[in-house]
């Protein structure tokens, strides 16, 4: 028997034991497990296991002659039919996977949110520096300014701003509680009503990032990289901005 036949059957997905049993049965014709085991030179247990797999592929059939169970290898043309069926199954599975690829990405390490945490006085610098590096087109922020100025001096905030260039950002919006002091030039801002509830720290969304800042106890900045989360927060921010009636803007040259 040419060796390439065995390789072709292996390429078709058959296990070594299946190949031996199928080829042995094909040469013997209807045979008992004992005769197939002798021909294939494997144990009867291995033959039974191979027959079970071949039967699922419909490459071997079973019949009863008297009290004996006989096994017959199907015509080799059945292998072609089997491969066509498997190809159709694979094509259908491939289409299903294509439709679910985004859901699958969420399970992979590459799509999971990347979280970075900064603490202490360098945290604010890290935040400003990150925004400057990302160079987003928009930067939307909601902040409790009373918290900000209770824990940071105006001098520190201005120094952080001067050290990082945000001039490339086309649109900056700030929803805020508390008094606005020295707003960044060109910023649109709107003061939130205290009726909306208590809010501390600040949240910002830019590009594919969401940043969370708290000033209670010590400064902590959490930067989350996730397009899905950023899109969600940006949508919620837009909704909140549309309901805010106290809008204004800081002159670009201020």
Q: How far is it, in rounded angstroms, from Cα 122 to Cα 135?
A: 20
Q: How far is it, in rounded angstroms, from Cα 73 to Cα 80?
A: 14
Token code pair at residue 122: 């360098």
Q: Architecture of 114-244 per CATH?
A: 2-Layer Sandwich (3.30)
pLDDT value at 217 more than 80: no
The predicted structure's pLDDT at residue 254? 37
Other C-beta atoms closer than 10 Å to the C-beta of 43 total: 11
pLDDT value at 101 more than 90: no
The predicted structure's pLDDT at residue 70? 93
The predicted structure's pLDDT at residue 166? 66
Name which of 120, 165, 164, 169 is nearest 140 in CA terms.
169
How does pLDDT run across 123-160, given as a tens digit for each residue? Answer: 877 888 888 888 899 999 998 888 777 776 767 666 66
How does pLDDT run across 24-50, given as a tens digit for each residue? Answer: 999 999 999 999 999 999 999 999 999
Domain 3-80 has CATH 3.40.50.2300: no
Name the β-bridge partners of 214.
220
Q: How far is it, in rounded angstroms, from Cα 16 to Cα 118?
A: 57
Mean pLDDT (the chain) is 82
Q: How far is it, in rounded angstroms, from Cα 168 to Cα 206?
A: 13
Least confident range from 94-98, 141-145, 153-157, 244-248: namely 153-157
pLDDT value at 162 more than 70: no
How does pLDDT run across 198-215, given as a tens digit for each residue? Answer: 777 889 999 999 999 887
Residues 6+ apart with CB under 8 A from 72: 25, 29, 30, 31, 60, 61, 62, 63
DSSP for 178-244, please give it: S---SPPTT-EEEEPPGGG----SEEEEETTEEEEEE-SSS-EEEEEE-HHHHHHHHHHHHHHHHH-
Instruction: Give the pairing of strands 247-249 and 220-225.
Output: unpaired
First to last CA, the chain: 89
Could you tell me the pTM of the whole model? Answer: 0.53
Other C-beta atoms closer than 10 Å to the C-beta of 112 total: 12
Where does the chain hold its CATH 1.10.10.10 domain(s)?
Answer: 3-80
How does pLDDT run across 48-73, given as a tens digit for each residue? Answer: 999 999 998 899 999 988 888 999 99
The predicted structure's pLDDT at residue 253? 42
The predicted structure's pLDDT at residue 109? 54
């Amino acid at each position: 028997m040419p060796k390439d036949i065995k390789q072709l059957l292996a390429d078709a997905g058959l296990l070594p034991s299946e190949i031996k049993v199928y080829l042995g049965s094909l040469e013997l014709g209807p045979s008992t497990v004992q005769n197939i085991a002798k021909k294939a030179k494997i144990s009867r247990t291995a033959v039974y296991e191979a027959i079970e797999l071949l039967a699922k592929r419909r490459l071997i059939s079973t019949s009863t002659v008297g009290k004996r169970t006989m096994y017959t290898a199907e015509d080799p043309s059945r292998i072609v039919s089997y491969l066509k069926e498997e190809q159709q199954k694979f094509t259908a599975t491939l289409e299903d996977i294509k439709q679910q690829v985004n859901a699958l990405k969420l399970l992979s390490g590459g799509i999971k949110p990347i979280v970075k945490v900064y603490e202490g006085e360098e945290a604010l610098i890290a935040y400003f520096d990150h925004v400057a590096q990302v160079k987003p087109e928009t930067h939307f922020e909601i902040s409790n300014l009373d918290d900000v100025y209770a824990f940071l001096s105006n001098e520190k905030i201005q120094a952080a701003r001067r050290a990082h260039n945000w001039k490339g950002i086309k649109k900056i919006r700030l929803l805020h509680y508390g008094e606005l002091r020295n707003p960044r030039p060109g910023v649109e801002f709107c003061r939130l009503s205290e009726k909306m509830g208590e809010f501390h720290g600040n949240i910002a969304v830019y590009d594919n990032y969401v940043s969370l800042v708290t000033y209670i106890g010590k400064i902590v900045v959490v930067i989350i990289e996730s397009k899905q989360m950023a899109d969600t927060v940006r949508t919620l921010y837009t909704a909140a901005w549309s309901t805010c009636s106290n809008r204004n803007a800081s002159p670009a040259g201020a």
